[in-house]
A and B are shown apart, each in its own frame.
Chain A
């Protein structure tokens, strides 16, 4: 299977308050269409690793390949373009723009990408909202929705540009079991049907158990791959 994300010897240090070696020679690869979860105790470096994979954190040594392209050392604008096109994000908090409608929130990354016309983007955003069962909420402003709905809107937003990779930091951390199931099933479907890759940092053992592969981290190193 084709590799979509690969790291070689990633090292990272924190200097504040004291020098701390947070990631130690991390090397691994993720294939296209894989549903990967990363677990580990807090402080194990899993979130730090995720943010390096996301290209938002550039302060590390080693090499990061996205879609077989070495992106380490790219300038911030170029990285922003890569994120725009290839990576969708879902966080524990939804980070929706509260003054905008759900529809507009979903449309934002595509409006930035500018590959389609506004009309087409709008249609596509409706499709994504429908996929997550929120078509009827499309024209409400984001701050009027429940927590579960907001998180699903955030997922729809992550999907709008059909990114190759979706990165999630505790995507179900704030959700009840019903919403957690919806989110998980959606992700599963995406990997199977759309060949999209999911990399999710989670504390939820149940969630992790059902993914294709689980990486367990401890003290800045990958200690276990479970398939």
Chain B
């Protein structure tokens, strides 16, 4: 064994308690770091899953236009001085062409049309407000994974009958509707249709469950008293949802309509996510750095205690870098033990917690073994340990043996 390593390990084992305290510090810091970061990934994943149940990756729609001055004249004032929204239909003109244009973008996997309208649901004397979403059932199912939220009936039945409807569990409860029942839907345009309930879904978001329903695209167009080219939104799915915002500019260019990414559409939620990320990152790093301080402290103490040893080692021919190696070996040993222990502790914690049922929108505790976070934790942990060890080691290497011997 190398003599420097030999000395380092003797120091480590001759003061087991101190070593254990330092190891425990790293172990705890490491496990909390990995745990919290894995949790963050889990949170984001579940949040995204629930967002993508109602929001497409990218939505293409016709934005309201503000009237422009009739004559643009830089020198004098414009003729229209009170700009207003131009009254026009919110339909996407010639939507099939627009769809094929959007499909040309290499990242796009799916484009599907949608008509949204606010309506009243009536059974007998009860009338409640709600929203219908006219979709192409198969494509909408791929886009929003509606099938996974169905608690009764089958979403696939929607495409069999043009006069069928899939309703939220809240709507079903309020109107006491079951599979096979009829529901009367009246639109703002005064069109009334009788639709048959084929599926009931429950998203765990009660506002959605109490108002949202899915019907066939053509039925929705009829309810709006429009022909079969009337479409309010095009929903776009992309290969990498995380990067959706980067594609929106391209899609706007391609199609000539406004394209909006899911992050823009959920700005408030995204702000909360960012907040959460900052807090968790800050806390987890702080804990690791505190563990680093632990190592630093203990090593500093060892250096002070062993100052005579350092002096004689230098006198008998140990170089400055040998002394650095002795103390750095100690620090890194503590670090490696702590990191390995921390990984095991984090894995144990995750194993236990992912079996805990939380309920609501989340279900099981949203955490998984995130390999990338384990690797990240190991790297960060070892880097912090290195610096926490290097500073005292450097100090030890700088000890002037003469000043010790002459005391």
Contacts and interface: CB of A to CB of B under 8 A. Distances in A.
Nearest to A95: B312
Given A97-B309, A99-B10, A169 B405 contact: yes
Contacts of B308: 93, 95
Interface residues of A, number: 27
14 contacts: A51-B406, A56-B314, A56-B405, A80-B317, A84-B316, A84-B318, A89-B316, A95-B308, A96-B312, A97-B10, A97-B309, A99-B14, A111-B6, A169-B405
Contact of B319 (A47, A54, A76): A76
A56 B402 contact: yes
B322 interface: yes
B406 A113 contact: no
Given A56-B401, A95-B308, A80 B3 contact: no
B315 interface: yes
**SS of A interface (majority):** helix
Interface string A86-105: 00010101011101100000
Contacts of B7: 97
B313 A108 contact: yes
B320 interface: yes
B406 A77 contact: no
A95 B311 contact: yes
Contacts of A93: 308
B311 A112 contact: no
A34 interface: no
Q: Which 6 A-B pairs have the closest CB atoms?
A: A84-B317, A95-B312, A99-B14, A111-B3, A109-B316, A80-B319
B11 interface: yes
Interface of A: 47, 51, 54, 56-57, 76-77, 80-81, 83-85, 89, 91, 93, 95-97, 99-100, 108-109, 111-113, 157, 169
Contacts of A113: 317
Contacts of A97: 7, 10, 309, 312
Interface of B: 3, 6-7, 10-11, 14, 308-309, 311-322, 400-402, 405-406
A89 B311 CA distance: 12
Chain B binding surface, main DSSP class: helix
Contacts of B402: 51, 56-57
B298 to A, nearest CB: 16
Contacts of A56: 314-315, 400-402, 405
B403 to A, nearest CB: 10
Contacts of A108: 3, 313, 316
B320 A54 contact: no
A157 B11 CA distance: 20
B320 A77 contact: yes
A112 B314 contact: no
Contact of A112 (B10, B14, B320, B322): B322
B43 to A, nearest CB: 49
Contacts of A47: 406
Nearest to A77: B319
B319 to A, nearest CB: 5
Contacts of A111: 3, 6
A66 to B, nearest CB: 13
B11 A54 contact: no
Given A95-B308, A112-B322, 9 more contacts: A51-B406, A56-B402, A83-B317, A84-B318, A89-B316, A95-B311, A95-B405, A97-B7, A99-B10
Nearest to A86: B317
Contacts of B309: 95, 97
B307 to A, nearest CB: 11
B315 A112 contact: no
Given A51-B406, A99-B14, A112-B3, A83 B316 contact: yes
B311 to A, nearest CB: 7
B15 to A, nearest CB: 9
Contacts of B3: 108, 111-112
A80 B311 contact: no
A89 B322 contact: no
A89 B6 CA distance: 22
A77 B321 CA distance: 9
Contacts of A51: 402, 405-406
Contacts of B320: 76-77, 80
Given A51-B406, A77-B320, A89 B11 contact: no
Contacts of B10: 97, 99-100
Contacts of B401: 56
B405 A80 contact: no
Given A97-B309, A100-B10, A108-B3, A81 B317 contact: yes
A76 B322 CA distance: 12
Which of A97, A111, A157 has the most chain B CB atoms inside 10 A of its CB? A97
B329 to A, nearest CB: 15
B323 to A, nearest CB: 10
B301 to A, nearest CB: 15
Nearest to A82: B317
A112 B312 contact: no
A42 to B, nearest CB: 11
Nearest to B1: A118
Contacts of A57: 402
